[in-house]
Amino acid sequence: MVAVTGFGEAADSGPAVQVAALRLAWARAGAIAAELRRDGVPGTAITVTAFAPGGGGVARLLPAG
């Protein structure tokens, strides 16, 4: 299983900022997941999450079971 997380660079906690940051976070996580699928990782083995604060994205390999 691979856990993918995108982060959205939220500068403050205002609703509009949070919405925009989550859109960016989902786009980042989606791009990472798409690359993993292109590299042969089955989509059923990928979980995707997004958070407004933070920057970039990460993929973590999780232990089986």
What are 2-51's pLDDT values in tens digits? 999 999 999 999 999 999 999 999 999 999 999 999 999 999 999 999 99
Q: Return the pLDDT at 64.
A: 81
Task: Read off the pTM.
Answer: 0.93
DSSP alpha helices (H): ranges in the chain?
Answer: 15-38
User: How is the chain split among helix, strand and coil, in percent rounded to 5?
Assistant: 40, 25, 30
Closest CA to 33 of 23, 43, 25: 43
